[in-house]
Amino acid sequence: MKYLLLISLPVLFFSFSAFPQKKYYFRNTETNPDEADGSKQHPFISLAAFSKLKLKPGDTVFFWSGNVFSGTIHLRDIHGARQKPIVFTSYGKRKAEIHSGDKEAFVITGSSNFLISDLIVIGFGRKAGNRTDGVKLVNCNSIKIRNLEIAGFQKSGLQLFNCRDAEIRGVVAQDNGMAGILVEGDYQKRLSEKIHIVNCNADNNPGDPTNVTNHSGNGILVGNSKNVLIEYCTATNNGWDMPRIGNGPVGIWAYEADSLIIQHCISYRNKTAPGAADGGGFDLDGGVTNSIIQYCLSYENEGAGYGIFEYNGAGKWKNNIVRYCISVNDGRKTDYASGMYIWNGWRVDSMFTDFYAYNNFFYNDTKYAFSFASEGQHKRFYFLNNVFVSSDSSDLYYGIDSSRTDVFLGNVWMRKSGGFMQNGFSNLEQWARSTGYEIKDSKFYGIGFDKMIFDLPKYTDITDPYSFKTNPMLRSVCNNILWNKGLDLKKMFGIDPGKKDFFGNPFPNGGSEPGVCEIK
C-alpha cells in the first residue's frame, strides 16, 4: 500500500501542473468581437463566451468595472482545488453588473472549490417578469460567496440547495420575493451543512406574488440543514407584500435544522401581510434541534421577536436555547405575538420539548412581554434569569401555560412603570405561589420592583451588529441593582451559560445577574 501511494503522488502533482492558471476577461466596451479571445487585450464581450471555457483549478474570470453583462452563467461540474479555487469577480474600481432579466444570473450545479465575489446581480423584478432565484447553487461543495449585491428576483436572491462547506460573506440581498438568502435541501435529510453566513444584509424582500400556499418575504432562511452559523447579519422590512393570509415570513429563522447558531444579529421592523401570521424577528421553527440564538437584538417587528414554533408535520423540536438576547416592542401588529411567542401545531407535547430561555431582556411598552398560544403544548421549558417588562395596561404574559413541567426561576417581572400584574394578581409572590412559578423547594425566587429600574432613553435606530457594546440604548438595559440577584445556572441546573454576556463581558464575574448584562 505504501508503494502504491508513492507512485500515485507524482501522478497527482503532474495532473495539477497540466492545468496552468488562466485569466479570462470580459469587457463589453470592446468594438472588435472577432478578435475576442478572453485575454486582457482582447476580452470577451458577452456571457455567451462561457460555452467556450473549460475552467480549471486556479482560473479567474474577470468582469470589467461598471460594465453590464446580460444573460445567465450556467456551469456544471467545474472543480477548483482547495488552494486554487475558480474565481468569478470584477476588476477595476467598481463592481460589474450581471443583468439576467427573467432568468437566474448564476446557476452552478455539482461543482466545488469556487469563489464568486464583488458583483452586482439584477433581475427584472419579482413582479416585472422574473420567476427565478438570482444566484442558485445546487449540490456544490467548498463555496465562497463574497460581497455580492443581489436584487430583483421573484424567488430568492441567493439559494444554496444541498450544498456543503460554504461561506456567504458580505452579501446584500434586497427587493427579492421568497427570501434574501435561502439555504435549503431535500426535506429532513440535512444535506446542506457546514454553512457560514456572516456580515450579510437581507432588506426589503417583500414576498413572492405567485406563492399563495406558503410563506414568502423572508430575510435569511435556513431549512433542512445542519451545522450552520449565522452571525453579524441584519434583516429588516421584509415580508410586507406576501400575497396570502396564513403562516408568514420572519427576518432570520430556521426549520428542520440541527446544530444551528444565530448570533450577533439584528432583525427589526419586519412585516407580514395584513391579517396573516408571523412577521417576526427570529424563529426556531418546526424540527429544529440542538440550536441556539444568542447575543441578538429584535425590535419593532410586526410579529414576535423570538418565535418558538413547531408546525404539524415537522420532525421533533427539542433541545434549543435563546440566551442573552433583547426584544424591544415586538409584536406590533400580529395577534398575541410579543417578545417571545410559543406555539405548537402538533398540539401534542411530545413533539415540542426541552427549551431553555435564559438571561434575556423582553420589553414591550404597549402589550405583554411574551405569550403562549392556545396551541402551545410542550414539555420541559425553562425560563431562567430573564427580564420581562410589559406595558402598564396589560398582564406580563399572554395565554395559559399548558405544561406542568415548565420552570420559571430567577426572573424579573415588572410593568413599564413598575409593579406587577398577572391573572388578577398584583403581588408577585402571591401569584408565584398560586402557579408554582418562581418557586423551588418552597423558596420564592421571583424579582419585582415597584418602580422602573431601567433608564430606557428615547428609542433610536440600531442597525449595526458590530456596535452592540457601545450603543447607549442597549447599555440602558443594565442596572447595578440586579447585581448577584440571578441564579447560578450551572450549579442549579447543570447549564453552561457560555463565556460572555450580550456586551462581551466575561461570565460569570463574581455572580450572576438576570438579563443580558454581567454587572461588574
Distance, in Å, from the CA atom of 114 to the CA atom of 143, rounded to the nearest integer, reads 5
Distance, in Å, from the CA atom of 453 to the CA atom of 268, rounded to the nearest integer, reads 25
Contacting residues for 423 by C-beta, under 8 A, at least 6 apart: 395, 431, 434, 435
Tens digit of each residue's pLDDT (9 = 90 or more) over 360-406: 999 999 999 999 999 999 999 999 999 999 999 999 999 988 888 99
- Compute the Cα dihedral for 345, 347, 351, 355 and give only its sign: positive
Ranges under pLDDT 50 in the chain? 1-17
> Which pLDDT score, from 0 to 100, does residue 342 have?
97
> Which pLDDT score, from 0 to 100, does residue 223 have?
98
pTM (2 decimals)? 0.94
Beta bridge partners of 318: 289, 353
Distance, in Å, from the CA atom of 316 to the CA atom of 398, rounded to the nearest integer, reads 25
> Which pLDDT score, from 0 to 100, does residue 461 have?
86
Q: Whose CA is closest to 159, among 188, 189, 137?
A: 137
Contacting residues for 18 by C-beta, under 8 A, at least 6 apart: none
Question: DSSP of 127-142, one letter per residue?
Answer: TTT--S-SEEEES-EE
β-strands 135-138, 156-161 pairing: parallel
Strand blocks (E) in 65-189: 68-70, 73-76, 86-91, 96-101, 106-109, 112-117, 119-123, 135-138, 141-146, 149-151, 156-161, 164-169, 172-174, 179-184
Whether the CB-CB separation of 259 and 224 falls below 8 Å is answered with: no
How far is Cα of residue 256 from the mean position of the Cα atoms in its chain? 14
Whether the CB-CB separation of 195 and 231 falls below 8 Å is answered with: no
Domain 112-471 class in CATH: mainly beta
Residue 19 carries which side chain, given as an amino acid letter? F
> Which pLDDT score, from 0 to 100, does residue 471 have?
85
